[in-house]
Chain A
Amino acid sequence: MADITAPAYRVIPLIPALKPGAMEGKGPFVAGEKLNEALGFPGQLVEDWHDRAIGKMGDLLSRYRSLKVFMDACMHCGACSDKCHYFIGTQDPKNMPVARQDLLRSVYRRYFTLPGKLFPKLVGARDLTREVLDEWYNYFNQCSECRRCSVFCPYGIDTAEITMAAREILDTVGYGQKYSNEIIGKVHKIGNNLGLPGPALRDTLEGLEEDVKDATGFDVRFPMDVKGAEVLLITPSADFFAEPHIDSLIGYAKVFHATGTSWTLSSMSSEAGNFGMFIGNYDQLRTIALRIRQAALELGVKRIVVGECGHAWRVAYSFWNTLTGVGEGADANDHFAQMLQKQLDHRYKQPAHICEFTWDMIQDNRLTFDKSANDKHIITFHDSCNVARGSRMGDLPGGQFEIPRNIIRAVANNFVEMAPSTTREQTFCCGGGGGLLTDDLLELRVKGALPRMEVLQQAVDEHGVNFMATICAICKAQFTKIMPIYGFDRKMVGGVHQLVSNAIQLGPK
């Protein structure tokens, strides 16, 4: 894997020519028996995979309007064809969103539509063969579910929905992906994606308290399992030990400290990430999310705040209310949701993003900053895909773009934007999202980062940018890994709350 090099930047970002088959056979490792069975999937590819796959497809078509409409509506207009970072980076035509969808759509047409049954060749319908199944495995594990294509589709077709359906079908026949299924297994068993047990977590947090004390002289606490705390912080487990994630965790703790907010982490529910979404399995998505509900009920907290994590925030913001009742506005006779919603304090948004929390505090003048502490940085902001296109912050549409930027401007003096066609709703995925952050996909990850690296380079050349802030654990991990391959310093990437941490004043105002 060491011989992977970065593709050359495009001088003028022309749409690349097609290289059919460029990424054939470059999918991730297949999940083994134990990993699959732990999640209730068949251990390995079942004998009657054909019938089961078609059966599952029919089941999903009847349960998801998105899939049903998206299978029918595509006009092959090509609007999405140059929008995927994996297509731009790999030039493999099957990484064009429409072509990726067609891998599934061709089978849908063959088995579920009259023209496909009568004239398969004419309408591009295909039998589900072993080759097709392998193609599904390969290319549906080369999509990061970032939704960029859905911004441009005239019918809003979201390839993420189709990728999720395909992965769900693959898991149903015992053909799951190792990385995602392994991680989901760890959440069920231990409570977080990294498999960090409670005692180790407590150790880490105590170490952090000492570090912060040494660095600042203040007793900033990192509490765990505190019953009756006001805020339950749910954050990606990478925040507990990975660089640069941990610096943002320190930032959250300092914000809580400086505002006198009582807060706690949960050892049982120490993970914001939810890979159940990546594999498109509602039961997994729900079961993983229910740990947060359970922690909130057991600890009796009033507010739930989510740390810097892209897809986790999408799940929290968009799905938690549905899955677990964390939110507002349940029917009076909806006892499941009411049980929790009665406990939560609805003067605040439930759940809230840590950026919403911090920005509210800044607006209430409850935080002071020494902006010069960030003067060594010329900062730009990478919008994380799932935050940008699958969630919101604040009261207004687009708050997910403004609030993190507002915070950066409040804590630092030098902020510049990257090219507008690559930020906000049109942002590019980091190249490692959607369950692809694994070393067996390193070539894909490096190539998929190309469009972001191109505009970052541009910002470096034009403005001398030396820090790219982002609010996603996967973005942070992906960039620190692949940026050196593009010739950048890995320390260039960090969290928004890392900048907050640098500038925040902990003493009395």
Chain B
Amino acid sequence: MASIVFATLFYLATLLLVVGLLYRISTYARTPAPLKIPTTPAPTTTGGVVLRMTREVVFFESLFKANLWIWGLGWLFHASLALVILRHLRYFTEPVWEWVAFIQPFGMYAGITMLLGLCGLWARRMFVERIRYISTPSDHLMLLLLIGIAASGLMMKFAAHTDVIAVKSYFLGLMHFDVGVLPADLLLMIHLSLVVSLLVVFPNSKLLHAPGVFFSPTRNQKDDPREKRHLSAWAAKLESEK
């Protein structure tokens, strides 16, 4: 029974995630940026913009300038999350890719640092007056959701083992639209339910910062307004109307 419920949930959630994200991204891409508004000093070449975006996305450069605590905790969380997600690839590949096998131990410790980062971010949200002021219930809940995912995952590793071989064959099956049997394990059920929730929440919330950052005109525009005339379609119409 649980096997079928989770199969349905995962298919639906994945569909929502993909469709939701594609829709959002296409909206961002279709909406024109009528004026040149890079936050200067800004790169003057495309290569420079790629470097700026890379520094932003990989190292959180602006956040580093802003606040070392938020930067440290945020970067710890994101880097750990990336490792943890990569580690999970082993549940979806057979045979497991070599580099995925290689990062397994790092991914395991990353689970712990991810939890630490999340708890630190949550502590800031609760104890720093300014950040408490701007927080909505959903801000807290999203951190709790991620904390729940990390904690339940870690418990399956360190407290009560789940039959990971069965889990893997279940997910490999799902990938071929073949619903197998999911181990009846409470921690696993919790972990998977929370992950499904995350997939659904993602394209409908502030988690859109992930694709959003790539479309931010203050970061992705070249600083060349004098050299090249920049004109959006709706602004060009104003000229032809004259």
A interface list, Cβ under 8 A from B: 15, 17-18, 61-66, 68-70, 72-83, 93, 96, 98-99, 102, 113-115, 121-124, 147, 150-158, 161, 282-283, 286, 317-319, 321-322, 325, 327-331, 334, 336-337, 349-351, 388-392, 396-398, 400-401, 425-426
B65 nearest in chain A by CB position: A152
**Bound complex: CA of A70 vs CA of B212, how far in Å?**
8
B interface list, Cβ under 8 A from A: 24, 27-28, 31-37, 39-44, 56, 60, 62-63, 65-67, 70, 74, 124, 128-131, 133-139, 141, 204-206, 208-209, 212-213, 215-219, 223, 225-231, 234-235, 238-239
Q: List the A side residues contacting B205 at CB < 8 Å.
A: 115, 123
Q: List the A side residues contacting B70 at CB < 8 Å.
A: 77-79
Q: Can you offer 9 A-B residue contacts whose CB atoms are under 8 A?
A: A73-B208, A77-B131, A78-B130, A155-B219, A157-B218, A319-B36, A322-B231, A389-B40, A390-B40
Q: Is the CB of A152 within 8 A of B63?
A: yes
Q: List the B side residues contacting A153 at CB < 8 Å.
A: 62, 66
Distance in angstroms from B145 CB to nearest chain A CB is: 13
User: Of the candidates A63, A147, A388, A425, which one forms a contact with B31 in the assembled complex, judged by CB atoms under 8 Å apart?
Assistant: A63
Q: Is the CB of B39 within 8 A of A151?
A: yes
Q: Is the CB of B74 within 8 A of A77?
A: yes
Q: Is the CB of B35 within 8 A of A69?
A: no
**Bound complex: CA of A398 vs CA of B137, how far in Å?**
41
**Bound complex: CA of A397 vs CA of B40, how far in Å?**
7
User: Of the candidates A64, A73, A122, A327, which one forms a contact with B212 in the assembled complex, judged by CB atoms under 8 Å apart?
Assistant: A73
**Bound complex: CA of A123 vs CA of B142, how far in Å?**
11
Secondary structure type dominating chain B contacts: helix
User: Of the candidates A73, A99, A322, A325, which one forms a contact with B35 in the assembled complex, judged by CB atoms under 8 Å apart?
Assistant: A322
Q: List the A side residues contacting B31 at CB < 8 Å.
A: 61-65, 68
A387 nearest in chain B by CB position: B40
**Bound complex: CA of A65 vs CA of B211, how far in Å?**
13
Using A18-B133, A78-B70 as known contacts, list a sample of 14 further A-B pairs with CB atoms less than 8 Å apart, ordered by residue number in A.
A64-B34, A65-B28, A69-B216, A72-B209, A72-B212, A76-B136, A81-B131, A113-B204, A154-B62, A155-B219, A156-B213, A156-B216, A325-B229, A330-B229
Q: Is the CB of B130 within 8 A of A93?
A: yes
Q: Is the CB of B63 within 8 A of A99?
A: no
Distance in angstroms from A472 CB to nearest chain B CB is: 15
Q: List the B side residues contacting A158 at CB < 8 Å.
A: 37, 39, 218
Distance in angstroms from B123 CB to nearest chain A CB is: 12
A388/B40 contact (C-beta < 8 A), A317-B226, A328-B226, A334-B229 known: yes
Q: List the A side residues contacting B67 at CB < 8 Å.
A: 78-79, 152
Q: Is the CB of A73 within 8 A of B32?
A: no
Q: Is the CB of B134 within 8 A of A102?
A: yes
Q: List the A side residues contacting B204 at CB < 8 Å.
A: 113-115
Q: Is the CB of B56 within 8 A of A154?
A: yes
**Bound complex: CA of A147 vs CA of B238, how far in Å?**
28
Distance in angstroms from B128 CB to nearest chain A CB is: 7
Distance in angstroms from B12 CB to nearest chain A CB is: 16
Distance in angstroms from A148 CB to nearest chain B CB is: 10
Q: List the B side residues contacting A99 at CB < 8 Å.
A: 133-134
Q: Is the CB of A322 within 8 A of B218?
A: no
Q: Is the CB of B34 within 8 A of A75?
A: no
Q: Is the CB of A389 within 8 A of B39?
A: yes
Q: Is the CB of A66 within 8 A of B134?
A: no
**Bound complex: CA of A390 vs CA of B221, how far in Å?**
12
Q: List the B side residues contacting A390 at CB < 8 Å.
A: 37, 39-40
Q: Is the CB of B33 within 8 A of A337?
A: no
Q: Is the CB of B137 within 8 A of A161?
A: no
**Bound complex: CA of A147 vs CA of B62, how far in Å?**
13
**Bound complex: CA of A286 vs CA of B239, how far in Å?**
10
User: Of the candidates A70, A96, A123, A398, which one forms a contact with B130 in the assembled complex, judged by CB atoms under 8 Å apart?
Assistant: A96
Q: Is the CB of B215 within 8 A of A65?
A: yes
A329/B34 contact (C-beta < 8 A), A78-B70, A392-B40, A398-B41 known: no
Q: Is the CB of B229 within 8 A of A150?
A: no
Q: List the A side residues contacting B227 at CB < 8 Å.
A: 327-329
Q: Is the CB of A122 within 8 A of B138?
A: yes
Q: List the A side residues contacting B74 at CB < 8 Å.
A: 77, 154
Q: List the A side residues contacting B40 at CB < 8 Å.
A: 388-392, 397, 400, 425
User: Of the candidates B41, B134, B213, B234, which one forms a contact with A155 in the assembled complex, judged by CB atoms under 8 Å apart?
Assistant: B213
A79/B62 contact (C-beta < 8 A), A65-B31, A114-B204, A329-B228 known: yes
Q: List the A side residues contacting B62 at CB < 8 Å.
A: 79, 151-154, 156
A318/B60 contact (C-beta < 8 A), A114-B204, A115-B205, A152-B66 known: no
**Bound complex: CA of A442 vs CA of B6, how far in Å?**
62
Q: List the B side residues contacting A122 at CB < 8 Å.
A: 136-138, 141
**Bound complex: CA of A283 vs CA of B235, how far in Å?**
9
Q: Is the CB of A282 within 8 A of B36?
A: no
Q: List the A side residues contacting B34 at CB < 8 Å.
A: 63-64, 282, 322
